[in-house]
Amino acid sequence: MSKLQTSVNLRLAILGGMVLLFIIPLVMVGSLIEERSASRNQAVAEVGEKWGSNQTLVGPILMIPYNVRTPKSGSTKEKDKWDYVTDYAYFLPDELDSVVDMKTELRKRSIYEIPLYTSKVKIVGKFSPILSSDFPLDTTYIYWDDARVLVSVSDLKGLGGEMKLSWAGKDKKFLPGTKSPSFHSGLNAPVLITEATNSIPFEIQLEVKGSESFSVIPIGKKSKLAMSSDWKDPSFNGNLLPKDRSIDDTGFSAVWESSYFARSYPQVIHSMDTLILDTIMNSGYGVSLVIPVDHYLKMERSVKYGLLFIVTSFALFFLMEVFGGVLLHPIQYVLIGSAMVLFYVLNLSFSEHFGFLPAYILSTLAVTALIGYYAISVLKNKKKGIITGSYYLGLYSFLYVILASEEQALLLGSLALFMVLAAVMHFTRKVDWYQFGSKKEG
């Protein structure tokens, strides 16, 4: 007998080296999954460029320019002591009640499906009276005649249909652009403002098209958002979860409520800076239109178990050697490991056409049948080949349970590892490893 056949340490070292080498194809499979996922994201971006991308709605905000004096450094003359700078004050509404009716559709780009929506938005509310005392103490002039109501929309290509504004009971027309140095994408409407003693009611109606997600920024002192849609798989996201929600086969409805106590910016902003603007934009909430079978994410998670599965598979065949009296060649282990790596490639390619679950079943049956068929020959025992095939069927079934139970994945995985190790230790507890592979005396 050769040393490869008689030395258990050498055989274990070779198997360990092969397991480590299989890291390379598993990494390549992971890169392939990332590449396909990037292709899908590119398809989403291309459709979004023509239809409308993820949308975030901010407004209405009342913007009034004013002059303020600031000390001038280095000047000794009284008349030259001050600089006069024009800035913008932003007034946020006291009450903001938004109603969104979202209709969705799926568009195909190559082999990918992209969720699109058209949302009819109605916003009603009121502003508190605007007073001179709301401006900074060093204000020298307020441009009441240049006041504007602005609504910011993240992607202007999504604006369509009729856009209406009712301001203090009078109809106004929206103009393109915001005229604001801070909010660059949106609409504005000139409004007549005087130092008011009464609150100012408003109503806005517009249509917004987009893809994948829609969010509203709750800039009101009291804000409420009621959203309904025919999409059956929503993912509620943002800074606050809905107060009430309902999901069924016809779609979903959700209601958010919030107040200005839950945020870190005031009702009157004398000068908008980057920090305040980022805080405002990060305070929104809304919904993402999730496609239920996100096979790329599940594939990424499944590949993480690839090396572990190869180890347990090699351990199974090694135990078959120990108890079956048949020695396998390293090349045979390589072929078995290659079949297990191919499982992920099959699953990825099938899932892009049939969905994750049908693809997973097809890949599992194909690889299980192949390894089971191969095991019958190399182990020279039909019963052991069937046991091996059953093992792989159970292995991949358990993997699917882990993928479907994300919250319990660690618990299930650790328990499975413990049971596998316990089984190996139980069946090998009486093996004399020093005599393994040696020629028995007649």
Which two tokens mark 228? Answer: 């309904």
Convert the pLDDT of each residue in 170-189 to its tens digit.
888 888 888 888 888 888 88
For residues 119 and 208, the answer to whether their CB atoms sit within 8 Å is yes
Q: What was the pLDDT predicted at 436?
A: 53
Of all residues in the chain, what percent carry a pLDDT higher than 90? Answer: 2
Using CA atoms, how far apart are residues 430 and 132, in angstroms rounded to an integer?
A: 91
- State how beta strands 95-109 and 82-91 pair: unpaired
CATH of 54-291, one of 3.30.410, 2.60.120, 2.60.40, 3.30.450: 2.60.40
Tell me the HSE value of 340 on the side-chain side, using a 13 A CA sphere: 29
Q: What was the pLDDT predicted at 440?
A: 47
Q: Which residues of 101-135 are buried (b: 16+ CB within 10 A; e: fewer)?
A: bbebeeeeeeebebbbbbbebebbbbbbebeeebb
Residue 271: phi, psi to the nearest 5?
A: -150, 115
Residue 235's nearest CA partner among 153, 320, 115 is 115
Angle between helices 306-324 and 330-354 (to 10 degrees): 140
Q: What was the pLDDT predicted at 5?
A: 53
Q: Which residues of 154-164 are buried (b: 16+ CB within 10 A; e: fewer)?
A: bbeebbeeebe
| Residues in CB range of 179: below 8 A, 6 or more apart | 63, 148, 150, 188
- CA 388 from centre of chain: 38
Convert the pLDDT of each residue in 79-107 to its tens digit.
566 677 888 889 999 888 999 898 888 77
Using CA atoms, how far apart are residues 338 and 331, in angstroms rounded to an integer?
A: 10
Q: What was the pLDDT predicted at 406?
A: 58
Q: What was the pLDDT predicted at 53?
A: 78
CA distances for 438 relative to 3, 14, 102, angstroms: 10, 18, 74
Which two tokens mark 296? Answer: 């790329």
Sequence ranges of the domains in the chain: 3-39+296-427, 54-291
Q: What was the pLDDT predicted at 197?
A: 66
Low-confidence ranges of the chain (pLDDT < 50): 1, 293, 440-442
